[in-house]
Amino acid sequence: MACTVGVLYPGFSAEDDYPRLEQRLPGVHLPVVHTAMPEDAHRVDALLAIGSDGILAEGARALGARGVDAVVWGCTSGSFVFGWDGAAAQVAAVRAAAGAPASSTSFAFVHAAAQLGVRRVAVAATYPAEVAEHFVAFLAHAGIEVVAISCRGIITAAEVGTLTRQEVLDFVAAHDHPAAEAVLVPDTALHTVAWLAELEATVGKPVLTANQVTAWEGLRLTGTHTPRRGLGTLFATAGPTGHPPPRTTPQATMR
């Protein structure tokens, strides 16, 4: 079944992951609208500005005019820094502006973990530690325990987007943890889609990456997700595989 999931993407960095996803998802269209980035900085005040309602509404209206089936705010840090309730309000505003079901990458990670029955994770974050701590708190609200976290400390999305395949593989492999059921890699500025199979083979467990879960979340919102190969365990899985799902998002994020 064909569907169109619009992605709101801040600035320019790893947006070419979405055409790569389209190539692997027949019938799925992932148009990207680039939202304004007043300052490219992984710093809380800058991220709050990037994710403000005024900036997102313009892009959401543009996607709504295209008749998309769902919209996802494709920015992890620009959603989780608002906290759980703030991120839910952010999504509700996007939904209202687009006139379509909406979510964000932060909630996508929560739903993806539920899909896999994952409750304990390692986080390999490209952000500075003070930003990554907000992601840990966001996951904790959903009942997901972070058993290990590592921070590369990169300030700008532009720099994150330059990391090579080997650098990404090495970074994720070095920061897995034996107690983790999956590794989460939460930056949509990071290229990962071309290397999902390698990432999972390297650590021997599911790896959830930001652009991957963003696309999957859009399919979940439209009710069109079916098992697909070539995009990691998440896309290959039909439904929850183990533990009861963690507490999910407020109703505002749902269809």
**What does the block give as tokens for 96?**
């209202």
Mean pLDDT score across all residues of the chain: 91
Closest to 122 measured CA to CA, from 155, 152, 144, 137: 144
Domain shared by 30 and 80, yes or no: yes
Tell me if 250 sits within 8 A of 141, measured CB to CB. no
Q: Which residue has the higher pLDDT, 150 or 145?
A: 145
Domain shared by 104 and 14, yes or no: yes
- Give 100-110 pLDDT, tens digit per residue: 999 999 999 99
Q: Cα(202)–Cα(188) distance, rounded to whole angstroms?
A: 21
Domain shared by 178 and 90, yes or no: no
CATH number at residue 121: 3.40.50.1860
Percent of the chain with pLDDT over 90: 85
Domain shared by 37 and 103, yes or no: yes
Strand residue runs (E) in 85-141: 102-104, 120-125
Q: Cα(233)–Cα(236) distance, rounded to whole angstroms?
A: 5
Do the domain assignments include residue 137? Answer: yes
Closest to 120 measured CA to CA, from 167, 35, 180, 50: 180
Residue at 115: amino acid letter: Q
CATH number at residue 104: 3.40.50.12500
**What does the block give as tokens for 179?**
């107690």
Domain shared by 102 and 198, yes or no: no
Do the domain assignments include residue 183? Answer: yes
Domain shared by 14 and 130, yes or no: no
The DSSP call for residue 251 is: G
* 137-163 mean pLDDT: 93
Question: Is this model's pTM higher than 0.85 or not?
Answer: yes
Q: Cα(43)–Cα(37) distance, rounded to whole angstroms?
A: 12
Domain shared by 65 and 100, yes or no: yes
Domain shared by 101 and 65, yes or no: yes
- Give 28-87 pLDDT, tens digit per residue: 999 999 999 999 999 999 999 999 999 999 999 999 999 999 999 999 999 999 999 999
DSSP-assigned states of every residue in 139-206: HHHTT-EEEEEEE-----HHHHTT--HHHHHHHHHHT--TT-SEEEE--TTS--GGGHHHHHHHHTS-
Domain shared by 180 and 121, yes or no: yes
Domain span including residue 115 = 109-209
Do the domain assignments include residue 243? Answer: no
Domain shared by 104 and 186, yes or no: no
The DSSP call for residue 71 is: E
Asked if the model's pLDDT at residue 248 lies above 80, the reply is: no
What is the rounded end-to-end Cα distance, in angstroms, of the chain? 18
Q: How many domains does the chain have?
A: 2
Kindly report the number of other CB atoms within 10 A of residue 251's CB atom. Answer: 9
Length in residues, the chain: 255
Q: What is the pLDDT of residue 137?
A: 97
- Give 210-245 pLDDT, tens digit per residue: 999 999 999 999 988 888 889 999 999 875 444 333
Domain shared by 168 and 199, yes or no: yes
Domain shared by 33 and 82, yes or no: yes
- Give 169-211 pLDDT, tens digit per residue: 999 999 999 999 999 999 999 999 999 999 999 999 999 999 9
**What does the block give as tokens for 2?**
């064909």
